[in-house]
């Protein structure tokens, strides 16, 4: 009987795509997927270390697996992958007294996972198995990935980052920036479309820093133009861009290319120039706001989202007021906001005392989230009555007739409809607004290719 695997994923889209790759590799090696932990011979935990809380989840999970092993006398082979594996390496074995983790595989050594897991399953070695070598090839064909979503494909175009923002572990866990050849990226897009994908999401730590290593004329804007030409593809998304690499060419591509979604995730992290400088973000509040204005001039209907950190070392009440005023001015459609926590190796942990009290961090995050909730509610209410092209991506598990999809601006829309609409882009009249989603009704005689509103 085939051995079964289960992958648990924490963190960003890059991690979700890595899990798809690991699933593909394990299936190529003869493993079968299971959703039931009791049935799994192998549990892979794909970890995130971007925030302290995300890292804590790993230890909680390992504790559960150890307990299960002690109670039942058996447990699956446990493989830890992702950023915490890369960051901590062999120290993780020690932290768990060598009792719970059988395999450790870093972000750049995924290809070795099946081999290491095979050895651990067969118990051909008594000691835990480890590969956290920092550099590997990024030209990983999508053919190996087992896509979690049949309609949407993640395609990595850049791996790693050279920016070293003061709070961020990514340059330490993902290594230096490497770009994939444009021909490989386009081949992945065509293959994804040929196997049912309607939408691709191009991934990179600074995705808009792309410059094809095999074609000097292909920057990020040109890549978008080439992907836009792929027949059968309906939508292009990308994550995450850095504000300072949003060029006039990229704005023009977002304005003119019909498949590029009218949504931009534009991380800002703080509304205060002083804090942005301490964070080494390399742009000011004014430059960011000027960029937002230029984007909205070119693409008036664009939906913006962002990442925000509160309580970065040295952040004063006045700095935080600037974060609030920037949020009120930009009016984001969504926001990921976090309390600062010091991360290993970073400039901030080495040189900047974590001097904002927990009480202040909590008060600030509550105030910011309340403001964002209000803005989001107003934007959703304003959408009622509009006609939106919605790519229907799923059917409700509870109610057969209820479908769910996303607008070009990336807002979830729930609507009644027929199961055979899944995978189609249909015109939807927005009829109601909830805090995190919209409700709508399909307008079947309207033209789906009209202006994105
Ligand atoms: S740009 Fe900054 S925040 Fe983004 S991955 Fe690189 S170091 Fe991290």
Average pLDDT over residues 195-199: 96
Atom of ligand 1 nearest to the CA of 242: 1
Who contacts 398 (Cβ-Cβ below 8 Å, separation ≥6)? none
Structure confidence by residue, pLDDT tens digits, 423-444? 999 999 999 999 999 999 999 8
pLDDT averaged over every residue in the chain: 91
Q: How far does the centroid of ligand 1 lie from the alpha carbon of residue 41, in Å?
A: 36
pLDDT for res 452: 37
- Tell me what percent of the residues of the chain surpass a pLDDT of 70: 94
Lowest mean pLDDT among 90-104, 301-315, 407-421: 90-104
Q: What is the CATH superfamily name and number for domain 384-442? A: Nucleic acid-binding proteins (2.40.50.140)
Per-residue pLDDT reduced to its tens digit, 350-367: 999 999 999 999 999 999
Q: Indicate whether 5 pLDDT > 80.
A: yes
Q: What is the average per-residue pLDDT within 59-88?
A: 89
Distances (CA, A) of 411 to 40, 325, 335, 394: 35, 24, 12, 14
CA of residue 167 to ligand 1 center, whole Å: 8
pLDDT band at 50, cuts 50/70/90? confident
Tokens at 300, concatenated: 């008036």
pLDDT (0 to 100) of residue 95: 77
Helices 248-256 and 220-228, interaxial angle, to 10°?
A: 20
> Cβ neighbours of residue 275 under 8 Å, at least 6 residues apart?
269, 312, 314, 315, 319
The verdict on whether omega for the bond into residue 281 sits within 30 degrees of 0, i.e. cis, is: no
Residue in 164, 168, 209 to alter for ligand 1 test, most ligand atoms within 8 A of Cβ: 168
In order of 47, 49, 82, 381, 395, the CA distances from 87 in angstroms are: 10, 8, 9, 44, 39
Encoded tokens for 288: 């960011």
- 115 against 133, higher pLDDT: 115
Question: Could you tell me the fold of the domain covering 142-382?
Answer: pyruvate-formate lyase- activating enzyme (3.80.30)
Give me the pLDDT at residue 67, please: 87
Distance 427 CA to ligand 1 centre (A): 37
Residue nearest to atom 4 of ligand 1 (CA): 205
Domain ranges of the chain: 4-131, 142-382, 384-442
The domain covering 4-131 belongs, at the CATH homologous superfamily level, to Methylthiotransferase, N-terminal domain (3.40.50.12160)
| DSSP 8-state code for residue 269 | B
CB 430 within 8 A of CB 446: no
Q: From the CB of 242, is ligand 1 less than 6 Å away?
A: yes
Residue 96 scores a pLDDT above 90: no
Distance 168 CA to ligand 1 centre (A): 6
pLDDT band at 453 (very low <50, low <70, confident <90, very high): very low
For the chain, give the number of residues: 453
Nearest CA among 305, 328, 317, 308 for reference residue 360: 317
- The yes-or-no verdict on residue 60 having pLDDT over 50 is yes
Strands 263-265 and 303-310: parallel
Q: Is 168 in the pocket of ligand 1 (CB under 6 A)?
A: yes
Q: Which atom of ligand 1 is nearest to the CA of 164?
A: 7
445 vs 39 pLDDT, higher one: 39
Instruction: From 161, 176, 343, give the residue whose CB has the most ligand 1 atoms within 8 Å, as the site to mutate.
Output: 161
What are the backbone dihedrals phi and psi of residue 42, each rounded to the nearest 5 degrees, phi first? -135, 130
Q: How confident is the model at residue 111 (pLDDT cuts 50, 70, 90)?
A: confident
The finding on whether 120 has its CB within 6 A of some atom of ligand 1 is: no
Bridge partners of 337, per DSSP, are 308
Sign of CA dihedral 208, 305, 413, 23: positive
For a substitution probing ligand 1, which of 205, 206, 267 has the most ligand atoms within 8 Å of its CB? 205
Please state, in angstroms and rounded to a whole number, the distance separating the CA atoms of residues 12 and 235. 20
pLDDT score of 378 more than 90: yes
Residue 100 CB coordination number (10 Å) = 22
Q: How confident is the model at residue 66 (pLDDT cuts 50, 70, 90)?
A: confident
16-22 average pLDDT score? 93
Q: How far is the CA of 198 from the centre of ligand 1 (A)?
A: 29
| Ligand 1 pocket member 268 (CB < 6 A) | no
Residue 240 CA: nearest ligand 1 atom is 4
204 lines ligand 1 (CB under 6 A): no
254-281 pLDDT, tens per residue? 999 999 999 999 999 999 999 999 999 9
Cα diameter, the chain:
66
Q: Is 171 in the pocket of ligand 1 (CB under 6 A)?
A: yes
Report d(CA 236, CA 199) in Å as an integer.
6
Q: Which long-range contacts (CB under 8 A, 24 or more apart) does 87-91 make?
A: 87/49, 87/169, 87/172, 87/173, 87/344, 87/345, 89/130, 89/132, 90/130
Of 87-101, 234-248, 383-397, the range with the lowest mean pLDDT is 87-101
161 lines ligand 1 (CB under 6 A): yes
Q: Look-up: residue for tokens 């607004």?
A: 433
In this structure, which residue's CA is closest to atom 2 in ligand 1? 165
- CB contact at 8 A, 49 and 343: yes
Closest CA to 404 of 420, 381, 422: 422
Percent of the chain whose predicted confidence (pLDDT) is above 90: 76
Residue 388, beta-bridge partner list:
428
Phi/psi of residue 267, nearest 5 degrees: -60, 135
Confidence of residue 141 (pLDDT cuts 50, 70, 90): low
What is the per-residue pLDDT for 363? 98
CA 175–ligand 1 middle distance (angstroms): 11
Nearest to 53 by CA among 268, 308, 340: 340
pLDDT category at 125 given cuts 50, 70, 90 is: low
Q: CA 119 to CA 309: how far, in whole Å?
A: 42
Most informative mutation of 11, 172, 242, 244 for ligand 1 (most atoms within 8 A of CB): 242
C-alpha torsion angle, residues 76, 82, 84, 87 (rounded to 10) = 130
Tell how far the Cα of 161 is from the centroid of ligand 1, in angstroms.
6
Which residue CA neighbors atom 1 of ligand 1 most closely? 163
163 touches ligand 1 (CB under 6 Å): yes
């Amino acid at each position: 009987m085939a051995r079964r695997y289960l992958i648990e994923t924490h963190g960003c889209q890059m991690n979700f795509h890595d899990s798809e790759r690991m699933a593909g590799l394990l299936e190529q090696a003869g493993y079968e997927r299971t959703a039931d932990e009791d049935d799994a011979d192998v549990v892979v935990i794909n970890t995130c270390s971007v925030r302290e809380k995300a890292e804590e989840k790993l230890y909680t999970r390992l504790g559960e697996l150890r307990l299960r092993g002690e109670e039942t006398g058996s447990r699956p082979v446990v493989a830890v992958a992702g950023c915490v594996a890369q960051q901590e390496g062999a120290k993780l074995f020690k932290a768990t007294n060598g009792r719970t983790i059988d395999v450790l595989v870093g972000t750049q050594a995924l290809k070795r996972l099946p081999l290491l897991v095979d050895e651990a399953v067969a118990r051909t070695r008594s000691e835990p198995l480890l590969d956290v070598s920092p550099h590997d090839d990024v030209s990983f064909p999508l053919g190996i990935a087992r896509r979690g979503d049949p309609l949407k494909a993640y395609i990595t175009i850049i791996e790693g980052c050279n920016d070293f923002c003061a709070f961020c572990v990514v340059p330490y866990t993902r290594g230096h920036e490497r770009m994939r050849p444009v021909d490989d990226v386009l081949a992945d897009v065509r293959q994804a479309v040929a196997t049912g994908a309607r939408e691709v999401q191009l991934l990179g730590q600074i995705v808009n820093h792309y410059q094809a290593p095999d074609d000097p004329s292909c920057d990020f804007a040109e890549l978008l133009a080439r992907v836009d030409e792929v027949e059968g593809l309906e939508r292009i998304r990308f994550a995450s861009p850095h504000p300072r690499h949003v060029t006039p060419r990229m704005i023009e591509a977002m304005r003119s290319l019909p498949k590029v979604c009218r949504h931009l995730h534009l991380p800002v992290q703080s509304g205060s120039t002083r804090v942005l400088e301490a964070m080494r973000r390399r742009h000011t509040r004014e430059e960011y706001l000027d960029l937002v204005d230029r984007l909205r001039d070119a693409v008036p209907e664009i939906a913006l989202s962002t990442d925000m950190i509160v309580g970065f070392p040295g952040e004063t009440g006045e700095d935080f007021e600037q974060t609030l005023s920037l949020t009120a001015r930009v009016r984001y459609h969504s926001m990921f906001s976090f309390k600062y926590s010091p991360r290993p190796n970073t400039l901030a942990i080495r040189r900047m005392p974590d001097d904002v009290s927990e009480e202040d961090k909590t008060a600030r995050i509550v105030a910011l989230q309340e403001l964002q909730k209000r803005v989001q509610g107003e934007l959703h209410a304003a959408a009622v009555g509009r006609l939106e092209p919605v790519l229907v991506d799923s059917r409700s598990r509870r109610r057969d007739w209820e479908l769910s999809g996303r607008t070009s601006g990336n807002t979830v829309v729930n609507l009644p409809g027929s199961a055979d609409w899944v995978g189609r882009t249909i015109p939807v009249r927005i009829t109601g607004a909830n805090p995190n989603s919209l409700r709508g009704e399909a307008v079947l005689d309207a033209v789906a290719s009209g202006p994105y509103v």
